[in-house]
Structure 1
Amino acid sequence: MPELPEVETVRRTLNELVLDKQIDHVTVNLRRIIQLPEEPDEFCLLLAGQTIHSVERRGKFLRFVLDDYTLVSHLRMEGRYGLYDRNDPLEPHTHVVFHFTDGSELRYKDVRQFGTMHLFPKGRELEEKPLNKLGLEPLEDTFTLDAFKGRLAGRSTKIKPLLLNQEYIVGIGNIYVDESLYMAGIHPEREADSLSRRELAALYEAIVRTLKEAVAAGGSSIKSYVNGQGEIGLFQHQFKVYGRQGEPCQTCARPIVKSVVAGRGTHFCPKCQPLKQKRVKKAAVR
C-alpha cells in the first residue's frame, strides 16, 4: 500500500498542484530517502532551477519529469506528498521539501521512512533500476488479452503470487489481486497454467475493471493513505472480499475466508472461488 489506483490518484492531483512550478532549492532531512545520487547534496544541487513539466506513473512509481532530469519516487507504505505555503509549520516526519520560486513547497512525509527517490538524466530512468524490469501496465492499451495470456503462459506458479510479481504485471497489490480473483471466480491458489481460456479472459476483464473502478473512487484508504490534496480514497467501501473475513459473501452468503498464500493475507469465497485440481493429461494407450 499504496497500489496502482492510489499512486495514479496521487499523480493526477500532483499534476493539478505542481505543474510548471520551478524548484528554487531542495531540503533533505533524511538522507536515506535519496537513493541516487548517493550524496543528498548533489541531489539538491541538480534539482535547483529545474521546472516540473509533468508527473507520470510507472507501476507504483511516480515520475517527476523536469527540464533535464526525471525524479523517480516510490511511496512505499506511507509516503505522501502535499503542497504547502513556505510559512506553514513543518509537520513531523517531513523528510524532503521542494521549495518553489513562487513561495509554495512540495513536502514529502513518510512516517515509516521506507520511501525512496532516484534522480536520473531524463530518459535514463526507464533503462535503470528500479524501473527497467517492470512488466505490463494494466491500464494502458498495451495490456491486451493476448499480452496478458502471454505473460502467464506455461507458468505453474500459483496465480496470486504471479499477479503480485511486478515483473509480469505492475501495480496490482494485495487488495486488488484479491478483489480481481473474486470477480473472476478464481481461487488464489490455482496454478496459472490450470486456467482455461474462459477463466483467463474473465481474470483479464476483472483486473481492468477493478483497477478502473478503484481509480474512479480515488483509491482505497485502509490506514493513512490520502492523495496530494489530503483527500482519502473511497474504494474500500466497495470491497467484496478484502478485509471481510467472516462476513457473508455478497453472491452466495457463505462466509469470506482469510488464509495465507505466498506469505500474504488472502481473502476469498470458498464457494464462488473453488480450488479446482489441475487436469493431468493421460498417456495414450497403445
Structure 2
Amino acid sequence: MPELPEVETVVRGMRQKIEGAKLKKVTLRREGLRYPFPPSLGKLKNVKVTSIERRAKFAIMHLDNGLSVLFHLGMSGRILFPEGSEPLQKHDHLSFYFEDETGHPIELRMSDPRRFGVVDVCPTATLQTSKHLMTQGPEPFGDEFTADYLYKTLKKRSLPVKQAIMTNKVVVGVGNIYANEALFMSGITPRRKASAISKQRVAELHSNIVKVLKDAIKSGGTSLKDYVQTDGTLGYFQHNFKVYGRAGKPCPVCETEIQKIVQGGRASYFCPTCQK
C-alpha cells in the first residue's frame, strides 16, 4: 500500500505537470472504486488547478471553483501522465484532461487493479472537516508533531509501540515499512509497550520517524509491487532497507539474524540484539 513518501512523491509529480493548468474534462470508465464516484466528478470542466497538496495519504487537487478533488491510491492505485496516444490499459478507470498555459494537452490517468482507491470531490472550505480528513492525526513534518507530543501520546497507549506509531490518530503516514525501519534506527523492539519507553528514547524515535520518511521521499518512495512514480519509474528506497523484508539475514550492525513476527496482522522485522 502506498504510504506517505509514495503519496508525497506523486503529489510532487502532479505539481510539475498540472499546477496552474486548466481541467477541460473528466472521463469515468466505471461507476467508482472503493466507493461510487460523486456525480460532480464527471461534470468538472474548464476549471483551473490552483494548487496541489498532500494531507495524510491523500493527494488533493484544489480548483478555482471552490472545489477540491481528493485521490487515495488504496492498495494498488497509480497516477500516471501517459505520453502521446498511449493506449488504455485494463485497469485505467478514469482520466482527467488538462491544457497547460501554452495549450498543450495533458492527461492524468488513474489505474487501480484492486479498486481500493478513492476519488472524491469536496468543497475546499470544509475540506479539513470532511469524512476523509477529520480524524487524521498530525503530519510528521508539521509543527504539531514534536518529540514531547509523541512522548505524551505514547504514554497513553498500552499497545506495542510499532502498532502505536502506525495509528493515524497518533501521526499520519508511518506505514509498516517505515515503522520497522524507524524502530531499528532507534534501537527499540517493535514489541515494547508504547507507554513504557523513556522520554529520551521517544525523542530518538521521533527524530528517526522524520528522517526515514524524508529519506524515502528523496528516493522516490518504495516500489515493491504496484507503486510507481507519475512518470512510470520505480521508487528505490527498498534498496536501503535495514530490516524490512530481511528475515533470516544478518543485521547490518551486529550480524545477528533478523527476526520476523506478526503484530496486528502486519509483519514486524527486528534485530533481537540491537533492539530492546
The TM-score range, normalised by the shorter chain, is over 0.9
Verify: 1:90 aligned to 2:88, yes or no: yes
Q: Distance in 2 between matches of 1:123 and 1:173?
A: 29
1:236 partner amino acid: Q
Once the two structures are superposed, the pairs formed by residues 65-214 of structure 1 within 5 Å of their partners are 65-67=62-64, 68-84=66-82, 87-101=85-99, 102-214=104-216
Specify every segment of 5 or more residues in structure 2 that has no aligned partner in the other structure, as ranges. none
Write the deviation string for residues 140-192 of structure 1: whole angstroms up to 9, x where unpaired.
23322122223222221211111111111000100000000111111111111
Aligned-partner Cα distance in 2 for 1:117–1:74? 7
Q: Distance in 2 between matches of 1:69 and 1:110?
A: 24
2:221–2:236 CA contact under 8 A, matched in 1:
yes
Aligned residue in 2 for 1:233: 235
**Alignment match of 1:267 (pick from 263, 266, 269):** 269
Q: In structure 2, what is the equivalent of residue 252 of structure 1? A: 254
Q: Is the 8 A contact 2:4 2:174 kept in 1?
A: yes
What's 2:11 paired with? 11
Distance 2:220 2:80 in 1: 16
1:34–1:202 CA distance, 2 compared to 1 (3 A): closer
Deviation at 1:82, TM superposition (A): 1.2
Tell me whether 1:62 sits opposite 2:64 in the alignment.
no
Q: Distance in 2 between matches of 1:34 and 1:42?
A: 17
Extract unaligned runs of 5+ from structure 1: 275-286
State the Cα deviation string for residues 5-43 of structure 1 (Å, max 9, x = none): 1111111111001111211111111212284xx664432
Distance 1:2 1:211 in 2: 13
> Residue type matched to 1:7 in 2?
V
What amino acid does structure 1 have at the position aligned with 2:33? I
Q: Does the CA contact (< 8 Å) of 1:3 and 1:60 recur in 2?
A: yes
SS in 2 for 1:53: strand
Residue pair 1:86, 1:105 contacting (<8 A) in 2 also: no
Could you say what secondary structure the match of 1:77 adopts? coil
Match of 2:25 in 1: 25
Distance 1:238 1:43 in 2: 39
Residues 232-284 of structure 1: CA distance to partner in whole angstroms, max 9, x if unpaired?
A: 1111111000000110001110110111011111111111113xxxxxxxxxx
Distance 1:227 1:141 in 2: 28
Conserved? CA contact 1:181–1:187, under 8 Å: yes
Q: Could you tell me which amino acid in structure 2 is paired with residue 6 of structure 1?
A: E
Backbone CA RMSD of aligned residues: 1.5
Structure 2 CA distance, aligned partners of 1:70 and 1:150?
34
How many residue pairs end up in the alignment?
A: 271
TM-score relative to the length of structure 2: 0.93
Q: Deviations over 1:190-218 (max 9, x none)?
A: 11110011211111111011111111111
CA distance in 2, matches of 1:55, 1:205: 27
Percent identity (aligned): 40
Deviation at 1:69, TM superposition (A): 0.6
Deviation at 1:223, TM superposition (A): 1.2
Q: CA deviation at 1:224?
A: 2.1
The residue type equivalent to 2:90 in the other structure is: P
Q: What do residues 50-92 of structure 1 show as CA deviations (whole Å, max 9, x unaligned)?
A: 2112210011111111112111111011111111356332122
Contact 1:149 1:200 in 2 (8 A): yes
The structural deviation recorded for 1:226 is 0.8
Alpha carbons 1:145, 1:201 under 8 Å: kept: yes
**8 Å contact 1:2–1:75 — kept in the other structure?**
yes
CA distance in 2, matches of 1:57, 1:215: 13
TM-score (norm 1): 0.90
- In 1, the alpha carbon distance for the partners of 2:172 and 2:37 equals 29
Query: Which of the two has higher C-alpha Rg?
Result: 1
Cα gap change, 1:123 to 1:251, in 2 (>3 Å): same
Residue in structure 2 matched with residue 281 of structure 1 by the alignment: none
